[in-house]
Amino acid sequence: MVGLSVLLAASGLAVVQRLVPVQVREAHTTATSTIYAALYVMFGITLGFSLLLVWQQYDAAQKATESEAAHVEELYRIAGSFPEPARGRVQEKAVSYARVVVEEEWPLMQEGRISLRAGDVADELRDSIQDFEPRTEAEQALRSEGLAQLDDLDEFRALRLLEVREGLPPILWVVLIVGGVLTVVFTFLFGIESPWLHIAAVAALAMMVSLILYTIAVLDYPFNGNLRVGSEAFELVLRRIGGA
């Protein structure tokens, strides 16, 4: 993507240099520079806002994943104080949920989908805690704590799944791409005596713009691509609770 952008920019500039004499471009440099200043400021603001937005989404997805995994482990620990058979049921469902998320849901999220089975196991985990009948105040407190942890788990799961489906609005991508093209193409109109210096400057600008756009595209969906949020947090929990 970056290489193609640089090649197209250099080729386009070469065509403009042949068709429009440098004297003509130099004569209009002042007007061209004034318009270009407004253009690159607007594009720069949009670019910076978009990069900040996708980074915040990526960071939120990573934190939601880690928090969700931590609540699974905490539920397993709390269930360790339940009497049997409630202890075994809750701990089994906690392990099953973490395993389904790692083995089934994570590969699906790379395709923009979610696992219905993981949702079913989460419901079964809630049922296993709600079905527990406490006989003492201590057991009642443990059950309440377990339900509170489960509410938090469901909240972080919902946040994680939201990041699977949400990305930058298409209209913003249109603005970014059109703005990037115009920002680069407008530099073709500058009057620079050395054609090779002009080409080098335009190629550098095209490379930088395309690199930033590529970074935004990679971070836009946190659970697919080369920089996707991994399932390491859940895998670590599985090792800790003996489910790996």
pLDDT category, 174, cuts 50, 70, 90? very high
User: Averaged over 211-239, what is the pLDDT?
Assistant: 86
Report CA 89 to chain centroid distance, whole Å.
Answer: 35
**What pLDDT does 244 receive?**
47
**What pLDDT does 243 receive?**
54
**What pLDDT does 13 receive?**
80
In this predicted model, what pLDDT tens digit does every residue of 53-99 receive, in sequence order? 999 989 989 999 999 999 999 999 998 888 888 889 999 999 999 99
The 3-state secondary structure of the chain reads CHHHHHHHHHHHHHHHHHHCCHHHHHHCHHHHHHHHHHHHHHHHHHHHHHHHHHHHHHHHHHHHHHHHHHHHHHHHHHHCCCCCCHHHHHHHHHHHHHHHHHHHHHHHHCCCCCCHHHHHHHHHHHHHHHCCCCCCHHHHHHHHHHHHHHHHHHHHHHHHHHHHHCCCCHHHHHHHHHHHHHHHHHHHHCCCCCHHHHHHHHHHHHHHHHHHHHHHHHHHCCCCCCCCCCCHHHHHHHHHCCCC
Tokens of 162: 């939201």
Residue 225's SS3 state is coil
CA angle at residue 103 from 98 to 106, to 5 degrees? 90
Q: Which of the two residues, 1 and 174, has the higher pLDDT score?
A: 174
